[in-house]
Structure 1
């Protein structure tokens, strides 16, 4: 291809031994693959050492925004593809990405819709049906907001566009996995709220989790996802409770 644009794929990892080989294979169309690992203890780093054409850096984890901004600085190519270890790019999305970076466009960042899977079952509702996330950027046009330390938010210097095709997100292997992930995010979110001077209250601890459950299970149709929908909506509500429980601990 004439004047072909090169692409760097970035992954931040911690204990992703179940996914790491598959995701590296999935992004083999990238010209450069860089993984920033937070000192995994499950063999992820050792497995990465065995994979060809992958540059792995070990760095202590502070928060998601900080780790992503560090990873961005390691990229050497014009376009950057950020992907999580539990995400997979479909063939149509891959073709759309390659077309986007090799066709002159005004957009400097691209969002993608993710299709969620829980225990290998496609989750169509439960609050996940409208999920989109930024995954492709032109180098030098993005920076993650440092005080948004979880559910990190990028600042984009330029126009954005939504890809037509979707990516797959194998987010949770089990209820226990989802619970541990919710607790990890909740602790970071509690710290973010604490840094902003926020405090917990009975409303946050008891009413907000109920509102979260009812919203996702009833109004966002989690009931149609069967027993998995109930588990997801319940654990999402638990994550809200756990967040404000942690905030209460921080403010004592």
Structure 2
């Protein structure tokens, strides 16, 4: 259509050679694909280039938020679809995105429902589905915040419109890799909160940990996800414990000592 908005798919990646081909195949219909490599030691950059992506490299890591900002700065199309290498756009979601591009409203941001994989099962409950994320938006109007981890899009009060179709997210393919990533996120979260002057007490560690388990298992109906639901509730509690215990330790200089 004559008034169709153009689309840049934008992603940041590091050592994602195994996941990148399927991801890029799922968005091969976009007008351009931007991959910002964070200093991979595998063939991530070469694979991305061979599949038609525009590849840039930035090894000066300053957190997820700023890396996404930099990646977006290389885009040239009207709209941005921000995804990760472990995500795949389903045909139904593609159709919904194309409908948006044909009649886009720059005052709106479009959210995608993620279906998250955990130990061989795409979760339907536990707070992991539809797990909506704001990922489709006008390039010149919106950008990500500066957070080191769990970065989000600055919406500026825009109306959020949910799209039909799933964004498949291969969250936990290998348990040990997933756990290492969770521990890294907990460390970054604690460092950021500590730098902002935040502190927590000993009792707060316990209440937040118990609360995380109950929220996943009971309030978010994790019990309907079977064995994986119970395991995920424990993992979420563990992640929450690591975050608050690290913040507690930093506040007492135990980490430095």
TM-score by structure 2 length? 0.90
Q: CA deviation at 1:133?
A: 0.3
The answer to whether 1:125 aligns with 2:111 is: no
Deviations 1:182-230 (A, max 9, x none): 1121111112211221113212332311221122112222122122112
Match of 1:58 in 2: 57
Please give the root-mean-square deviation of Cα atoms over the aligned residues, in Å: 1.8
**Residues of 2 paired with 1:48 and 1:106: CA distance?**
29
Q: CA deviation at 1:130?
A: 4.7
Match of 2:30 in 1: 30
Match of 2:190 in 1: 190
Q: Provide the secondary structure at the position in 2 that maps to 1:154.
A: coil
Deviations 1:52-101 (A, max 9, x none): 32111121221111111111111111111111111111111111111111
Match of 1:74 in 2: 74
Deviations 1:100-135 (A, max 9, x none): 112153643211111111233111112213511011
Unmatched 5+ stretches in structure 2:
none
Q: Is the 8 A contact 2:124 2:130 kept in 1?
A: no
TM-score by structure 1 length? 0.91
Q: Provide the secondary structure at the position in 2 that maps to 1:23.
A: helix
Say which structure is richer in strand: 1
Q: Which moved more, 1:35-44 or 1:108-117?
A: 35-44
Count of residue pairs the alignment pairs up: 250
**Residues of 1 paired with 2:83 and 2:45: CA distance?**
17
**Residues of 2 paired with 1:46 and 1:55: CA distance?**
11
Matches within 5 A, 1:122-201: 122-146=122-146, 148-157=147-156, 158-201=158-201
Unmatched 5+ stretches in structure 1:
none
Q: CA deviation at 1:34?
A: 0.7
Match of 2:7 in 1: 7
